[in-house]
Structure 1
C-alpha cells in the first residue's frame, strides 16, 4: 500500500502489495483465556500434518480481567512478552500462511481493540477475534481430522479457560455447535477464589456448570453420539492425573472422575494440590476444570470420554489450507446465509458479477488489489438483500444488523463487520459514522469497495438478467468515470436518474462520479 496507509488492525490482513511467496510452513496461534499456544506445521501432499514446532505459555488472560472486564497491566505485560517470543518464531512467514485468533477473553474484554492493536504490533501478524460458534467449528476440525472416515457421530468437548465448546458431528462435519460461558479459569475464580476447596463449594461449582449447559441438554441428548472426545489442556490434564492414579487407561470414565473429585476435595486447598502428572501451571485452575468436566458428564449423561491432544490450533492449520486453496467453507456459508434469508440468488449474482468487473478495472488505482478485497465485495453483493426478510424499508440497515450479529461459519467477527458495513453502505447515504469500529487500515478500502457495490446495485436495479452492458470504468484518487456504450443511458432513463442522484451522494462524501 501507499506509505501513508494506516497500520494493520485487528481481524483481517488489509490490502498490501507484494505478498511473500508461498511457504510450506503454516502457523496457528491460539490466544486462549488460560494459555497462549503456537503451532508451526506442514501439510504433506497426502493431507497429513507434520508438526515443526509447538510453543505454549500460561498467560492467564481471563484471570487478568476485573469486574468491569478491563485487563490488568500485569496480565497485559505477560501477554505481550509471550507474543514477542511467538513473533520472533514466525516473523518470516507471509500473512496468508498465519492465523492468529482470540477467543472468549478477547471477545469479552472492554475496549479489547486497544490491546489487540498493541498485540498485533508486537506479534507482527493480525489477530482475529472469533465467535464461540466459529471456535467450536475449528476445534471440531482439529480434533476429528484424520479420524477413521466412518459415519459414527462424535461429541467433542473442549473446556478452555473462559468457555466450553460442545460439538456433535460426523465425518461430513459439525451438526450441532455451541459455546457456553464455562471455563477452568473463570469457574475457579467464581467458586475457589480464596484457594479453599470444600465439598459444598465443589458441589455448587458442579451444579453451576450444569446450569450453564441446561439449555442445550435436551437437544444434545436427543441428537446422540457414538463416541465422546475431550480436547485441550483441561481435559488432558485431568486424564493425566487419572492415569497416574491408575483410574483411567485411554479414556476418562465417570467412576474415575468421581474418585478424582473426592481426592481434590480432600486436599482442602489449591496450594495443597500436588498430583502426579499435573503441570504446575495447571494447578491454580484445576478445581474449576474438574467441576466443569463433571458438570458436562452430568448434563449429557456421559459415561466414557476419549481424549485428544489436538484442538483449536490444529483446526486453524487445516483452515489456512482451505482458505489458500479456494475458501470453500466461507463461500458455502455465504450461500447458506443468502438462502436462509430468501435472497434472490440470480439477482445477487448479477450484482456480484458487475461489482467484480468494476473492481478489476480500478483495483490498481484505488489500491484494492489484495484478494480479500474481491472476496469481501463478492460476499457483500451476494448478501446485500438479506434485510428484505425483515422489511423493504431500510432493508440495508436490517441487513447490516443481521450480518453483524449472526454466526457465519468460517468468518471472524472482523470479517463479518466488514461485510455488514458494505451491505449497509450499498444504498442510502455514504455515512462515515457507519465506519465506526472498522479497523483503521480498512476504512478507506471499505469506503471504496462500497462505492463499487453501489454502482453495481444501481446498474442492476431493474433486476433484468443481462441488462448491464460491458462498461468502462476509470478511477482517480477520489473519483470515478463510467462509460456506457451507445445510447444505453437514453434507453434506461431510470438508471440515468439514479446515477445523477448517486453523483450527488458521493460528492457529499468527498468523491466525484461522472458518466456518459
Structure 2
C-alpha cells in the first residue's frame, strides 16, 4: 500500500505498508485461495484499512491480480474483504495489470530507447509488454507511457503515442512456478526445469526485426529483479535508493543466479538481501528472469523498485490533471 500526494512531476509518499502474504500459495494445485492465505491477507488488509482512515484518504484504488483472477473463490474472497475490512477490492484483468506496470516504469525510460520491454514478475503471473517508441519524440516518451492504451496494437506512429507491438500475460509467477515443481528435490534440476518451462511460454514473444538490440531497453520491476540487483551490488541490507534505477548486464545477472545456486536453499535463507520472506521464491523468479533474457535481444536490464502501487498513483494523478508531464 502507498499513500501519497502529488508533488510536481512526482508524488510524495505519506505512508507505505508492505507485508508478504502469499495469497496464491497452493493455487496451482487446488485452484482455490487457501484458508491460511486468506487469513494472512485479511490481517494485512486490516492494517491498510486503518492507515487509510488515519490519513483521511479521499481518492483510492485497491486492486487484486492473478491469484484472485484464477481462484474459483476469488470473488468470494473480495466480498469477504469488503465485509471484514470495508475495503472494496477490484479484480483487474491482465491488460490493466500490464498497463500499470508500464506506467510505474516511466521514470526509468532511457532517452535513446526506441524499443522497450517491460517485465513485471508477480506471484501468480508475469506481464510482458513490448513497445515501439521510435515515432515518439524523446521529451514525450515518458508521458506516452503514462497515457498508454494496451487495447491499441501496431498502427502508425506519431509524436505522442507509443505503439504497443505485443503484450503477454504469462500465467506463471514466482509462486505458481515454484508450486509446479515442488516435488523436484534437486535444487539445480528444479531451477533448470522452471526456466525451461517458462521459456516455452514465451518462445513466440520474440521481436523479429530489432536486430542486435542496441536501441532496445528492458526494464524489470519485481521483488526478484530488485533482490538480484541488491545482491549484485553487495548490499548488506536492502537500500531502495541504491537499487532503483541501477543497470545490470546479462553476465552480472547470471553470476548472481549462479551464486544463489551455489549457496543452496539454506544459504539463500540466510543471505541478507534475500531473507526469510523471499528465499523460497527467489529461484523461481530468477528462472523467469533468465528465460526472458535468453530470448530478448538486449544485453542490459534496468531495475525498477516500482510496481502496481506506483503505477496506480501515476495513473490516477495523471488522469486527475495533478501530475506534471514527466515522472522522474
Q: Which TM-score bucket, shorter chain as reference?
A: 0.7 to 0.9
Distance 1:109 1:297 in 2: 30
Structure 1 pair 151–242 and aligned structure 2 pair: CA distance change class (3 A): closer
Query: Which 5+ residue runs of structure 2 have no aligned equivalent?
Result: 134-140, 149-163, 237-242, 323-328
Q: Is 1:228 matched with 2:218?
A: yes
Q: Matched residues in 1 for 2:193 and 2:209: separation?
A: 23
CA distance in 1, matches of 2:252, 2:231: 10
- Contact 1:158–1:235, Cα closer than 8 Å, also in 2: no
Deviations 1:233-262 (A, max 9, x none): 11101111122189x993222112222232
The aligned length equals: 285
The higher-RCO structure (CA 8 Å, 6+ apart) is 2
SS at 2:105 equivalent: helix
Deviation at 1:146, TM superposition (A): 7.2
Match of 2:254 in 1: 258
Alignment TM-score, normalising by the size of structure 1: 0.51
Looking at structure 1, the residues matched to 124 and 211 of structure 2 have their Cα atoms a distance apart, in angstroms, of 27
Contact 2:108 2:304 in 1 (8 A): no
Deviations 1:180-209, CA, capped at 9 Å, x for gaps? 122111122223x25844333222211111
1:35-70 Cα distance to aligned partner (Å, 9 max, x none): xxx0111112x2321111111100001114262311
Matched, 1:56 2:18: yes
* 2:102–2:118 contact (8 Å) kept in structure 1: yes
Matched position secondary structure for 2:3: strand
Deviations 1:72-107 (A, max 9, x none): 111110010110011000026778610011111111
Q: Deviations over 1:201-231 (max 9, x none)?
A: 2222111111111121245957965321111
Once the two structures are TM-superposed, the CA of residue 165 in structure 1 deviates from its matched residue by: 1.2
Aligned to 2:80: 118
The match for 1:436 is none
Partner of 1:42: 5
TM-score by length of structure 2 reads: 0.78
2:118 touches 2:219 (CA, 8 Å); kept in 1?
yes
Q: Structure 1 residues 277 and 259, CA, compared in 2 at 3 Å: closer, same or farther?
A: same
**Is 2:286 the counterpart of 1:290?**
yes
User: Which is greater in Rg?
Assistant: 1
Cα distance in 2, alignment partners of residues 220 and 290 from structure 1:
27
Higher helix share: 1
Q: CA-atom RMSD, angstroms?
A: 2.9
Structure 1 equivalent of residue 52 of structure 2: 90
Q: How does 1:340-379 map to 2 (within 5 A)?
A: none
For the 8 Å contact 1:230–1:308, the answer to whether it is kept is: yes
Change in Cα spacing, 1:216 to 1:128, as seen in structure 2 (3 Å) is same
After superposition, where does 1:61-72 map in structure 2 within 5 Å? Answer: 61-65=23-27, 67-72=29-34
